[in-house]
Amino acid sequence: MLIFATNNENKAREVQAILPAGIKVSTLKEAGIDQDIPEPYDTLEENALEKARVIHRLTGNNCFSEDTGLEVEALDGAPGVHSARYAGEHRSNEANIALLLHNLEGKTARRARFRTVVALIWNNEEHLFEGVCTGHIAFAPTGSGGFGYDPIFIPEGSDRSFGEMTMEEKSRYSHRKKAVAQLVAFLNQVS
């Protein structure tokens, strides 16, 4: 069994749609694990590893996790690793988006990127994979698809936000798709 150590159902849905049929993954919920995993560190890499380590210690299973951040150039990389709690501990997507748009008011330079780090523990060894999607922050939210910051992120090569895309369309550009593609390549090599 390979466990995906996440409590975020949107992430789980996206990752499961990306994985080929031959790679079977259980989410924490499916594995019957009810555990809130801390993300105490200042880098995506350390947080992703910590999540995978907690679940590996608990279950002894091969497992992976991922940590994602939205890095905005004009804000020196913020919200970055703090993306989930940008507007406070209540982790509200609407409040996070409102604060980000507020902090970018009057700024025309709106380049940004999503970065996903996948941490895999496979036969007691740790591996990291990274996926980046560059684009820019819109002036207002559009669409009701996706999750998190999707309604205000327009990937390079499109004029629509992730919020306006289906999951399959988002995956053509996405940070998560690129990181998971590397995970899949690794798993195909070793299994």
Place of tokens 């036969």: 123
Could you check whether the bond before residue 141 is cis, i.e. omega within 30 degrees of 0?
no
Which two three-digit tokens encode residue 144? 């009701």
146 binds ligand ITT (CB under 6 A): yes
In whole angstroms, the minimum distance from the beta carbon of 189 to ligand ITT comes to 25
Alpha carbon 18 to its chain centroid, in Å, reads 13
> Which of 103-111, 117-125, 142-150, 179-187 is the region at the interface with ligand ITT (rule: CB under 6 A)?
142-150
The pattern of x and - marking residues 91 through 110 that bind ligand ITT according to CB under 6 A reads --x--x--------------
Q: For residues 39 and 43, what is the distance between their CA atoms, to the nearest angstrom?
A: 9
Separation between Cα atoms, residue 81 and residue 45, nearest integer Å: 9
Residue 11 engages ligand ITT in binding (rule: CB under 6 A) = yes
Identify residues 45-74 at the interface with ligand ITT (CB under 6 A): 51, 67-68
**Residue 54 C-alpha from the chain's centroid:** 18
Task: Kindly name the residue from 67, 76, 150, 159 that is annotated as catalytic.
Answer: 67
67 among known catalytic residues: yes
Angle (CA) 120-123-125 rounded to 5° is 55
CA pseudo-torsion sign 12, 153, 97, 43: positive
Q: How far is the CB of 159 from ligand ITT (least distance, A)?
A: 18
Q: Which of 15, 33, 54, 84 binds ligand ITT (CB under 6 A)?
A: 84
Q: How far apart are CA 146 and CA 81, in angstroms?
A: 19
> What DSSP element (H or E) covers 98?
helix 93-103
Closest CB to ligand ITT among 56 and 176?
176
* Closest chain position to ligand ITT (CB): 148
Q: Which stretch binds ligand ITT (CB under 6 A): 7-15, 16-24, 54-62, 180-188?
A: 7-15
Residues tagged active-site? 67
- Catalog residues that contact ligand ITT under the rule CB under 6 A: 6-8, 11, 39, 51, 67-68, 83-84, 93, 96, 114, 146-150, 162, 176
